[in-house]
Structure 1
Amino acid sequence: MNTTENPVYLRCKDHTVSGKTFSLIRDEKHQMLYTHPAPKADELPEYYKSEDYISHTDARRSWFEKIYHLVKSYALRQKLKYINAADPGKGALLDIGAGTGDFLAVAKKDGWNVNGTEPNTSARKRAGEKGILLFEKPDASFVEDKRSAYDIITMWHVLEHVPDLERQLEELKKLLRKNGTLFIAVPNFRSYDAEYYKEYWAAYDVPRHLWHFSSDAVRSLFSEKGMEVEQIIPMKFDAYYVSLLSEKYKNGKMNIFRAFCTGWLSNRKAARSKEYSSLIYVIKHQNN
């Protein structure tokens, strides 16, 4: 998926850091998009260096950030509910791309045996202040020792960021116990809010988001690795959050009323189509 021979779906601007324009290229085989040109490995960290990149900070400077953290606290409780339903025994949990460690802190308090990874240094430091030790990445020991036996692995809006998608999927299969459960949350470019905002849709977030998924794509990619999507859970708040940011990118300011209407309409349409702004995929090994 590193060629531009496939057709261009959209061209989008990086509104957060560089102001550069990137292309979204169709991958017809998997029914997904990918960002081109993808930043080189040594360039990618530069695109995360912004005080506005909220998942790497605990900032509450504006009403938008305060609302974000209020909704985030609700979302954390929901995520905990989902993993407890999958494994009431509260076994070993790995969160990949753990940010500032809030989800792992909630899970640890609830009795889970937690581990996590986060490539961003400042985010790892903030997590450490909350009593959550994060690794930069899963090293060889994650596969070779007991930590290869994870009952639950979570990636909350992280899979779209990974430079090597093929390698990440292989790694997930190795790290997950045969009867374990994988939770993957990603934006859905087939949602109504994505269609409405087009190149201004905030969840494209180029070039930090390297991959842009549909539900068909997630099913196809994991099926190729011997894993199966068993359930899809909507993330209804994302339509409002993404619409607010998209309004800012499109019109220069956050029009709360218009964003709310767009988010509401997106969720209403998704009640029939199932194409919500973001989706959580519950995945297991095939033939458990």
Structure 2
Amino acid sequence: MDTTKKYSTGAVPYLTCIDHTVSNESYQLVYNSEYDMLVTTPVPQNLASYYESEAYISHTDRSKGLFETTYQLVKKYALKKKLSLINQQTAGPKKILDIGAGTGDFLKVCKDNGWDVTGVEPSAVAQQYAQEKGLQLHTELAEVVQQEFEVITMWHVLEHVRDLDSYIEQLKKLLSPTGTLVIAVPNFKSYDAQHYKSFWAAFDVPRHLWHFSKESIKRLFKPYGLQLQETKPMKFDAYYVSLLSEKYKTGSMRPIRAMMQGFKSNWQAKKTQEYSSLIYLLKKV
């Protein structure tokens, strides 16, 4: 089922954005007031083809040029922070499911630190990279059955999920009674989103189908008995997204200006708590 139709019905126009990565096509973002989120319309029938780009860095381990090299360095630091976060979530079984595992770097760190790891990644290219690191990943979440996990992570993945309702239902079934669901997504109410508007890189249409706020997460997961426990910032995202947004807006990354905007976004978020991206920790109630 394509739940974008469900959530876009009755929604009002918010912004028109361009796919800067693959097609240069225009897409409408509409605002759903019931869930306080934006929905991308229309959704292409051949959505998978919109991921087929060398610019889609999350599916590669490349370090060509300053931007990709910097990305990989920041990723290594972020992996340590993520490991620290999940280690705080359980004193019992260290069993984790990572959805959208990419090239497997996060699961490799988890495995090296005593976690029993399972991963899901639809990209065949990314799976190959992960296999070279000793990881065998599932292609779809439906392949993960009759298991319970103390931690389930989705690092910038929920915004890509087409059938939102059934996916949340599957997450609930796979989460142990005491487990923690960790979801990281961009925040369309952040300063950098408001500043760059249609050029904000984290809109990333049409690959990002949903654009969440803090209230969105609360409202979406509550009917499934999953309650938001804590919210944490992803401060590096403001700089990364600003670099790409400058490129989309001006044709150049303009690193000094982008760093200034990233800093300003994080500074504003100290007061508003509306960081460029947020990590949500949810538990069963």
User: Which of 77, 80, 86 is the matching residue for 2:80?
Assistant: 77
Rounded to whole Å, the distance in 2 between the matches of 1:89 and 1:160 is 30
Structure 2 counterparts to residues 239-254 of structure 1, below 5 A: 239-254=238-253
Deviation, 1:167, is 1.0
C-alpha separation in 2, matches of 1:134 and 1:169: 20
1:112-123 mapped onto 2 (5 Å cutoff): 112-123=115-126
Instruction: Please tell me the root mean square deviation across aligned C-alpha atoms, in Å.
Output: 1.0
Matches within 5 A, 1:98-113: 98-113=101-116
**Secondary structure at 1:86 match in 2:** coil
Aligned to 1:27: 32
Gaps of 5+ in 1: none
CA distance in 1, matches of 2:247, 2:161: 26
Match of 1:9 in 2: 14
Separation in 1, partners of 2:261, 2:14: 22
CA shift for structure 1 position 174: 0.6
Match of 2:47 in 1: 44
Structure 1 residue 87: Cα displacement: 1.2
Which letter does structure 2 place at the counterpart of 1:264?
A: F
Distance in 1 between residues matched to 2:86 and 2:17, nearest whole Å: 35
Q: Contact 2:182/2:282 (CA < 8 Å) preserved in 1? A: yes
Matched residues, number: 280
2:21 maps to a residue whose letter is T
1:197-216 correspondence to structure 2 within 5 Å: 197-216=196-215
Distance in structure 1 (CA, Å) of the matches to 2:141 and 2:70: 32
- 1:139, CA displacement in angstroms? 2.6
Identity %: 53
1:5 Cα offset (Å): 3.5
**Matched residue type, 2:98:** D
Query: What is the CA-CA distance between 1:62 and the residue it aligns to?
Result: 1.1
Judging changes above 3 Å, is the alpha-carbon distance between structure 1 residues 157 and 73 closer, same or farther for their aligned structure 2 residues? same
Quote how far apart the aligned CAs of 1:90 are: 5.0
The residue aligned with 1:229 is 228
Moved over 4 A (4+): none
User: Per-residue deviation at 1:196?
Assistant: 0.1
Question: Structure 1 residues 32 and 112 mapped into 2: Cα distance closer, same or farther (>3 Å)?
Answer: same
Contact 1:183-1:280 at 8 Å conserved across structures = yes
Q: Shift of residue 138 of structure 1? A: 2.2
Contact 1:184 / 1:282 at 8 angstroms: preserved in 2?
yes
- Whether the 8 Å contact between 2:201 and 2:245 is mirrored in structure 1 is yes
1:39 deviates by 1.9
- Asked whether the equivalents of residues 90 and 111 of structure 1 are also in contact (C-alpha less than 8 Å), the reply is no
TM-score by length of 2: 0.96
- State the shift of 1:89 in Å: 3.6
CA distance in 2, matches of 1:90, 1:102: 21
Task: For 2:185, give the aligned amino acid.
Answer: V
| Deviation (angstroms), 1:88 | 3.6
Asked whether the equivalents of residues 7 and 25 of structure 1 are also in contact (C-alpha less than 8 Å), the reply is: yes
Q: Give the conservation status (yes or no) of the 8 Å contact 1:84–1:90.
A: no
Contact 2:10–2:32 (Cα < 8 Å) also in 1 = no
Using the size of structure 1 for normalisation, the TM-score is 0.95
Most deviating of 161-170 and 241-250: 161-170
